Amino acid sequence: MDATTHVKAYQDVLRIGPFRPKRLVVALALLALAIFPGDLGQMTRGLMIDAYTQVAVFVSATFLLFYGAEKLFKFNIGETLEGAKSWQVPLASLLGATPGCGGAVIVVAAYSSGNVGFGSVVAALTATMGDAAFLLIATRPDVALVVLPLGFGVGILSGYIVDAFSRTPYLGSPTGTCDLAPLIGQSRKRDYTALAVFVPGLGIGITQLTGADVYEVWAGLPTYIGLAGVAVSLTIWTVSTVQAMTNAADSPVTRMAEETAFILVWVIAAYLAYDYIVAFGGFDLEAMFKTAAPLLPLIGVVIGLVPGCGPQVVVTTLYINGLVPFAALMGNAISNDGDALFPAIALNPKAAIWATIYSTIPAMIMAYGFYFFAPDFLN
């Protein structure tokens, strides 16, 4: 049986479509690193297991709760925001502060449909930390309890100020739609496979949070569950047509599987990049970043301007490893718009640009406020 036949058989098992070439290259590169002999392979496998059991399982749990609640209560958030009037900005900021990008995308869609004002868009994009929030909650919940409420508060203030003083006109989409993600339809075998691996994975992740030795409690199961979770997620990501956000009409299980896979790839990349540099690069990263200490808050803010959640996950990883200060993390959290910036650019490019500019101002204030007046806070 040749390689093509093997791939076809594997696709048939999970009923997956053709692989996407660029993503397939990334997946194969990660596979090669994981099976590499010696210290490199062992380190890679360990980091992949950590990425799944320490982060991805909690991401999946949050998605199931969030998307499950949407399906269960069946309410139109756009209409709710439209009727909220003076409470639009706080509600938009609250949606933005919700971990992930779904809440901010909802606000962008509501603005495109004419249901909310521009200040609400600024509030949501300022408050959102995107998918990096999941990583922070999973690894440093104490810091997340500070960053997310601060972002929420700054989002409210920014939104009200923009509505009061900005002369930015309504820039909504004439189509009034933000349904950019393809509809997948019924849940597939691979979605239920991801769910089946997630259940014991969450148990392992919770065990780790208690401080117990997971290998004493679960024996060798964390290794198998971690690697299986990574394999299933990489398969889903490699064949997926979804860029980051899923369609609201899809089932919570499908949305959980698709979006967790997307986030996990970035978390693995961030974990590997950091540990490889430390182990094999011969660089003293801590010394390097200390020499650029005054610029780190600015760098965090500038990286936040890059659309998408991947770069923001990297900043959060650097903070978790003690390489950048809380000031840089805070600046990045406020300036970054996550994946919500993609539909904003597609539907309302002018609004997206102005919202990004407006969110940069409080990001700089917060970043350098912490840098100069509370330099050791949460570092």
SS (H, E, C) 304-366: HCCCCCHHHHHHHHHHHCCCCCHHHHHHHHHHCCHHHHHHHHHHCHHHHHHHHHHHHHHHHHH
Residue 54 has pLDDT above 90, yes or no: no
Residue 325 has pLDDT above 80, yes or no: yes
Give the mean model confidence (pLDDT) for residues 7-26: 65
Quick one: pLDDT band at residue 362, thresholds 50, 70, 90?
A: very high
Question: What is the rounded CA–CA span in Å between residue 266 and residue 191?
Answer: 20
Domain ranges of the chain: 19-373
**What is the structure's pLDDT at 18?**
74
Give the mean model confidence (pLDDT) for residues 317-336: 92
Angstrom CA distances, 338 to 309, 343, 356, 379, stand at 5, 11, 11, 24
Query: Which distant-in-sequence residues (6+ apart) come within 8 Å of 254 by Cβ?
Result: 184, 187, 188, 191, 246
Least confident interval from 50-54, 71-75, 300-304: 71-75
Could you give the 3-state DSSP secondary structure of residue 38?
coil
Question: What is the rounded CA–CA span in Å between residue 281 and residue 285?
Answer: 10
Question: What is the rounded CA–CA span in Å between residue 180 and residue 82?
Answer: 22
Give the mean model confidence (pLDDT) for residues 152-181: 72
84-134 pLDDT tens trace: 778 999 999 999 998 877 788 778 877 877 778 899 999 999 999 987 888
Q: Is the Cβ–Cβ distance between 54 and 208 less than 8 Å?
A: yes
**What is the structure's pLDDT at 297?**
93
Question: What is the rounded CA–CA span in Å between residue 129 and residue 127?
Answer: 7
Question: What is the rounded CA–CA span in Å between residue 115 and residue 85?
Answer: 10
Mean per-residue pLDDT of the chain: 84
Give the mean model confidence (pLDDT) for residues 201-208: 91
Least confident interval from 30-44, 58-72, 86-100, 343-357: 343-357
Query: Which has the higher per-residue pLDDT, 31 or 172?
Result: 31
Cα dihedral sign for 270, 273, 277, 280?
positive
Quick one: pLDDT band at residue 269, thresholds 50, 70, 90?
A: confident
**pTM of the predicted protein model:** 0.72
272-314 pLDDT tens trace: 887 888 788 766 666 767 788 899 999 999 988 887 777 888 8
Quick one: pLDDT band at residue 66, thresholds 50, 70, 90?
A: confident
Residue 171 has pLDDT above 90, yes or no: no
The kind and range of the H/E element at 71 are helix 57-73
